[in-house]
Structure 1
Amino acid sequence: MNDNQLLPQAADQDFFEENGYWISPKIIDDSRLQQLREHMEQVHSGIFESGHPPFAGYWKPEDGNGLRKTDNSHWADPVLRGLATDPLIGQIAALLMKADSIRLWHDQLLYKPGRPRVGQRNSANVGWHQDYSYWRAAAEPSLITAWVAFDDVDLSNGCMQVVPRSSKWGLVNVNDFFEQDLTKQEKQIHLPEGEKFRTVPLIMKAGQVSFHHALTIHGSGPNTTDMPRRSLAVHLMTGETRYKAGTKGDNHMNVAILGGKDGDLFAGAPFPVLYGE
């Protein structure tokens, strides 16, 4: 299958515009997947081939039964960097966002452990949230996430679930990545008139990539299998994404990394180009 067959077509772009998500065909082959899994384990073991650790604010070598979230793993490992800056992923994101260029916002290496041992509590759910609620340092929600599955995913191992059309709702009143009770959250969210909170599980094969808009509500349940669920979330932005000072997003790591002033583009070496420019 050539690259053109992997790109979203007009109907796929329309689907994304209406629903806020889209799932690609398999674009990462099995040999590359195995390499990615091995390098994920290296990073988790504290082996950083680049000599640079991931972002220190969140990186933990162990996290018990919780979701292990490693921000900016591309700093630490050239194989993971290759995925976080993959031109094909960038081109797909550009087509879905109808943008001329795509840059990396940051990445998150995600490890959802399997079922805990008897007597232990699984705390690896991901609460309902919109990514933009954490990214308001960007003046507009001109961001999209490519979630790369390193393993087959379905409801049994805690695949991502999205709420179609929620990308059209603006920021809702409830956003908490770390909340474990998704049912409680759902009851608290104020829906626009005429809309419904309907969830769709993103069931995928290893090597497929899901794309969701920064305003799309999403979350995930527990991994009830004996194997981990592994992935890389590649958070991307259009080339026109600018810093907006004085918001709740001012504590985001990218504000410090940019070191800029209100209205500056998120650009330069810390935010590499995947497509365009």
Structure 2
Amino acid sequence: MSTATQSNPYQLTAEQKRFYHENGYLLGLPPIYTREEMARINAELPHLLALLEPGETTKDIREWHETSTYLYEIGMNPKILDLVEGILGPNFYLWASNFFIKEPHSMSTVGWHQDSYYWPMAPNNSVTVWLAFDDVDEVNGGMKLIPGSHRGGVIKHRRSEQTSSVLTLELADGTDFKADSAVQFRLKAGECSLHDDRAIHGSQANPSDRRRAGLTLRYSGTNVKNDLSVNPNFKAYMCRGVDEFKHNPYGTPPKQRYGRPAFKPVSNEEAGKA
């Protein structure tokens, strides 16, 4: 006797895949973590913050999944991997993680940019998962993205003169895109969004009384190769499938709960084309 199985809500439908490839992003996904689970994850975050050195900020918590099971386990969550597989296919790896935290009343912004401009990687076949640690909306500086902008290729960036921006490279003046068409991302804690590495996106300041914290996780198909001459410490962590290309060195999964890499990862600005 066989029993019916409930469909997996984290396996993307044909319509979701079509929307992503046309628009460069995906919202409205089922939560990765419950409110209670996110509360426990947030309760552990101070242990990671305690490892920051004088002069560093939360944006320096980059690639710490390589040394912290706390982050590595999030990056390998099967629910997240199911979503990613719907975009990249069966063979892909995790290679980056970054925190983007705007404390209450923070004037920090993120100018319009494309992730792929910063990355010494080819071809373009990467997806970013943005996991909300807090409720995120237009009030506390949630991300905005311009639908379909990924289809225009990688655009020239310039050095930013805007000191409130956490990025020193932004889209050059005169770039032809319509900021008023941007979609405002709204997420509850424990929910995530997906976006293409070429999609134009950014975010405003957080004048509210609420923190806006998110963890970005970067995944690429195994056909994507990193330029080790630019980012020599690059490590790939296979998530699913097989690596039929073997373009990149593998990392060893961490064993300690909290830790930071012995090296400082190449920054977005260092990897980007000035």
Fold-level similarity (TM above 0.5): yes
Q: Give RMSD over aligned pairs.
A: 2.9
- How far is the alpha carbon of 1:6 from its aligned partner? 2.9
Is structure 2 residue 234 aligned with structure 1 residue 257?
yes
CA-to-aligned-CA distance 1:89-139 (integer Å, 9 cap, x gap)? 122112123x222210110122211105xxxxx2x211111111111x212
1:188 to 173, 185, 190: 173
Q: Residue 4 of structure 1 aligns to which amino acid in structure 2?
A: N
Aligned to 1:43: 48
For residues 84 and 129 of structure 1, the distance between their equivalents in structure 2, rounded to whole angstroms, comes to: 24
For residues 141 and 189 of structure 1, the distance between their equivalents in structure 2, rounded to whole angstroms, comes to: 24
For residues 271 and 129 of structure 1, the distance between their equivalents in structure 2, rounded to whole angstroms, comes to: 31
Change (3 A) 1:258 1:30: closer
Contact 1:127 1:178 in 2 (8 A): no
Change (3 A) 1:226 1:142: same
Is structure 2 residue 128 aligned with structure 1 residue 145?
yes
For residues 172 and 118 of structure 2, the distance between their equivalents in structure 1, rounded to whole angstroms, comes to: 21
The structure with the largest helix share of the pair is: 1
Is structure 2 residue 189 aligned with structure 1 residue 206?
yes
1:95 to 86, 90, 94: 86
Aligned to 1:19: 23
Q: Residue 11 of structure 1 aligns to which amino acid in structure 2?
A: E
CA-to-aligned-CA distance 1:215-246 (integer Å, 9 cap, x gap)? 0111111111122211110011112222346x
Q: Identify the range of structure 1 (29-38 vs 12-21) with the bigger mean alpha-carbon deviation.
A: 29-38
Change (3 A) 1:144 1:205: same
Secondary structure class of the residue paired with 1:151: coil
Is structure 2 residue 77 aligned with structure 1 residue 77?
no
For residues 249 and 161 of structure 2, the distance between their equivalents in structure 1, rounded to whole angstroms, comes to: 29
Q: Residue 93 of structure 2 aligns to which amino acid in structure 1?
A: R
Is structure 2 residue 9 aligned with structure 1 residue 5?
yes
- How far is the alpha carbon of 1:87 from its aligned partner? 2.3
- How far is the alpha carbon of 1:174 from its aligned partner? 2.5
Contact 2:99 2:214 in 1 (8 A): yes
Secondary structure class of the residue paired with 2:12: coil
Change (3 A) 1:62 1:207: farther
Change (3 A) 1:196 1:110: closer
What are the residue-to-residue correspondences of 1:116-265 with 2, within 5 Å?
Answer: 116=106, 122=107, 124-135=108-119, 137-174=120-157, 179=162, 180=164, 188-191=173-176, 196-197=178-179, 198-244=181-227, 250-252=229-231, 255-258=232-235, 265=247
TM-score (structure 2 length as normaliser)? 0.75
- How far is the alpha carbon of 1:31 from its aligned partner? 2.5
CA-to-aligned-CA distance 1:2-35 (integer Å, 9 cap, x gap)? 6712332111101000000002221211222112
Secondary structure class of the residue paired with 1:26: coil
Structure 1: gaps spanning 5 or more residues: 47-58, 117-121, 273-277
Secondary structure class of the residue paired with 1:144: strand
Aligned length: 235
Change (3 A) 1:238 1:152: same
For residues 203 and 31 of structure 1, the distance between their equivalents in structure 2, rounded to whole angstroms, comes to: 19
Is structure 2 residue 251 aligned with structure 1 residue 269?
yes
For residues 198 and 72 of structure 2, the distance between their equivalents in structure 1, rounded to whole angstroms, comes to: 25
TM-score (structure 1 length as normaliser)? 0.75
Contact 2:235 2:251 in 1 (8 A): no
Aligned to 1:119: none
